[in-house]
């Protein structure tokens, strides 16, 4: 049965330089245990999550359960410098020294000798793809990283990097949900006035299928837009009503139905759930059991767009 990836962004507490608290460690361990109990073994990290405290929580957990390491798939991301420069803005950095140093820090926080995958968090226009590939080759040769992926990259960027790599990239992490379905819209809304902006996603679905590149969908639950009544638009409200109706039909929950909608798409899509709600974790783990019909998939998509197909 399909299982989502668990995104660890919610672990570790505040995104400040304050040290990790005992309370946040215990809270994180409870969440990790619940994720594992529901059969989810793929964990997604990033060096910026809670400014490293998310990885620290997980690493402390691994110290106590060392025998679990070989049963888990642990990935992390690097390439974003938070609150940098005179504008206190994010900057992107995939330079040789930065990536190598960040991987060493990631491994230290996670209390592991290697990670199963390293994802490049954002494209960096100042790093050549050839230089970046050399850095990744070095990490693979050292045994610190087993495989590589990207995040928020277009097909052309992936092709440019892949040209210099001697192994295939395994994933591209992008925002994808019923509410943010540009990847799917581009496949169908051809030659229409409503056609969405390309946003770097043109041909990504086709490329991913051809090259066995998984699409790791972050924010797959639309950040609660179909469940937070006070913040709903009229279109969200109507779609939420349909979701609730279909949840009753399939004897499931709204959370599971939204993941099932993604899994219906014929591609290697891996939703990343980041909820810290134990019930939603359980609901997400069961989503792979739902066989959403073609008709219901289309009704959800058309409702979310607020436009009928010609």
What residues act catalytically?
A: 49
- Mapped to the 3 state alphabet, what secondary structure does 210-230 carry? HCCCEEEEECCCHHHCCCCHH
The Cα 214–Cα 48 span in angstroms is: 23
User: Of 41, 29, 35, nearest to 282 (Cα)?
Assistant: 35
Contact 111, 60 (CB under 8 A): yes
**Sequential DSSP letters for 172-216:** EEEE-SSSS-HHHHHHH-TT-TTPPP-TT-TTHHHHHHHTT-EEE
> Which two structure tokens, joined as six digits, stand for 234?
């009229």
- Mapped to the 3 state alphabet, what secondary structure does 58-90 carry? HHHHHHHCHHHHHHCEEEEEECEEEEECCCCEE
Q: What is the CA radius of gyration of the chain?
A: 20
∠ Cα 54 57 62 (to 5°): 125
The Cα 188–Cα 201 span in angstroms is: 13
The Cα 241–Cα 303 span in angstroms is: 10
User: Of 1, 92, 110, 2, nearest to 53 (Cα)?
Assistant: 110
């Amino acid at each position: 049965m399909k299982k989502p990836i668990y995104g660890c962004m919610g672990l570790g507490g505040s995104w400040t330089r304050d040290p990790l608290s005992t309370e946040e460690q215990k809270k994180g361990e409870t969440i990790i245990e619940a994720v594992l109990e529901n059969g989810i073994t793929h964990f997604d990290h990033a060096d910026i999550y809670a400014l490293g405290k998310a990885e620290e929580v997980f690493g402390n957990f691994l110290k106590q359960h060392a025998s679990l390491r070989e049963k888990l798939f642990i990935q992390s991301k690097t390439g974003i410098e938070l609150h940098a420069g005179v504008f206190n803005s994010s900057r992107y950095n995939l330079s040789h020294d930065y990536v190598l140093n960040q991987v060493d820090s990631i491994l230290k926080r996670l209390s592991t000798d290697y990670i199963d995958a390293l994802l490049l968090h954002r494209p960096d226009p100042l790093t050549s793809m050839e230089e970046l590939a050399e850095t990744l080759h070095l990490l693979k040769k050292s045994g610190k990283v087993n495989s590589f992926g990207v995040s928020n990259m277009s097909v052309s960027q992936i092709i440019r990097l892949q040209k210099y790599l001697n192994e295939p990239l395994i994933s591209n992490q992008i925002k994808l949900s019923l509410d943010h379905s540009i990847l799917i819209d581009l496949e169908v809304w051809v030659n229409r006035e409503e056609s969405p902006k390309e946003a770097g996603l043109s041909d990504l679905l086709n490329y991913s299928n051809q090259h066995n590149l998984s699409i790791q969908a972050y924010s797959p639950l639309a950040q609660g837009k179909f469940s937070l009544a006070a913040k709903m638009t009229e279109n969200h409200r109507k779609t939420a009503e349909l979701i609730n109706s279909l949840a009753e039909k399939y004897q499931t929950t709204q959370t599971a139905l939204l993941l099932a909608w993604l899994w219906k798409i014929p591609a290697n899509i891996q939703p990343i759930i980041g909820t810290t709600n134990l019930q939603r974790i359980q609901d997400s783990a069961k989503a792979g059991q739902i066989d959403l019909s073609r008709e219901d998939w289309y009704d959800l998509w058309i409702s979310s767009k607020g436009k009928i197909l010609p």
